[in-house]
Amino acid sequence: MTYSIEVKQLKKSFGTLDVLKQVSFDVAPGEVIAVIGPSGSGKSTMLRSLIHLEDITGGTIRIQNQSLVDDGRYAGAAEIRKITDRMGMVFQHFNLFPHLTVLANLELAPKTLKKESARAIRTRSMELLAKVGLSDKADAYPANLSGGQKQRVAIARALMMQPDILLFDEPTSALDPELTGEVLRVIKQLAQENMTMMIVTHEMSFARDVADRVFFMDNGEIAEEGPPEQIFGAPKLARTQTFLQRVD
């Protein structure tokens, strides 16, 4: 079995603060993992470590059987690049380039790589804008879009690189409630297309709806994990129950 993501004994410290303590998990191809848990429990740090936005302190991360870091030793720069190119990440605050149009935001990274013709890139960018329902916004600038539209552009931009794995860090937390639905619908469609995804979210009904498994993180570890029916319907740990009561 080739896992999409394999993490063993992942440790991450910031100075004397141990943010991730021996986190281990696997994600199978096509699986959708919702990551829930209180603020400060290490959710973002875990996701960022997978795509090498953080250097971990110890442990192993393998992506599609290739070691990004093996027992604390990182692969070479070219190898790291090859591995992280298989992944895309979508952030809470969109991180679009404000001085570029929607289309230019989508096309910047693939054009920089210069492995494809401009025409092939344009075909894909227009397809992806259609997929996220924003064909009419190709020439708009981010400042003229709603939060929900910006986040859908950010998702299309991540998809431009044709990743095998997508990571979402609270993709709707910066949005007004009436705009979350349009973003969650796009993510749900990706789930139905069998994209492998890890989604940090506070949207419990969404997690219940789309996730194959839910990880409850608390205090730098995955305290409890299981199918959504179990985590939301019959959590085993008192701290999971307490957390779920608080967010409802």
Nearer to ligand ADP by C-beta: 19 or 175? 19
Residue 88 contact partner, candidates ligand ADP, Mg ion, none, CB within 5 to 8 A by sort of partner: none
Residue from 40, 229, 241, 247 touching ligand ADP (CB under 6 A): that is 40
Least distance from C-beta 145 to ligand ADP, angstroms? 25
- Verify binding: residue 14, ligand ADP, rule CB under 6 A: yes
Reading the block at residue 178, the tokens are: 């009436």
Contact yes or no for 201/211 (Cβ under 8 A): no
Least distance from C-beta 58 to ligand ADP, angstroms? 16
Per CB under 5 A, the segment of 38-46, 55-63, 208-216, 226-234 that binds Mg ion is 38-46
- Verify binding: residue 247, ligand ADP, rule CB under 6 A: no
Looking only at Cα atoms, what is the longest distance across the chain?
A: 55
- Verify binding: residue 19, ligand ADP, rule CB under 6 A: yes
Q: What CA–CA distance (Å, rounded) separates 212 from 209?
A: 9
Per CB under 5 A, the segment of 36-44, 104-112, 221-229, 236-244 that binds Mg ion is 36-44
Q: What CA–CA distance (Å, rounded) separates 60 from 18?
A: 17
Backbone angles phi, psi at 239, to 5 degrees: -70, -30
Q: What CA–CA distance (Å, rounded) separates 151 from 186?
A: 10
Q: What CA–CA distance (Å, rounded) separates 208 from 176?
A: 21
Nearest to 86 by CA among 62, 103, 55, 102: 62
Residue from 4, 41, 44, 105 touching Mg ion (CB under 5 A): that is 44
Residue 60 contact partner, candidates ligand ADP, Mg ion, none, CB within 5 to 8 A by sort of partner: none
User: Which residues here bind ligand ADP, judged by CB under 6 A?
Assistant: 14, 17, 19, 37, 39-45
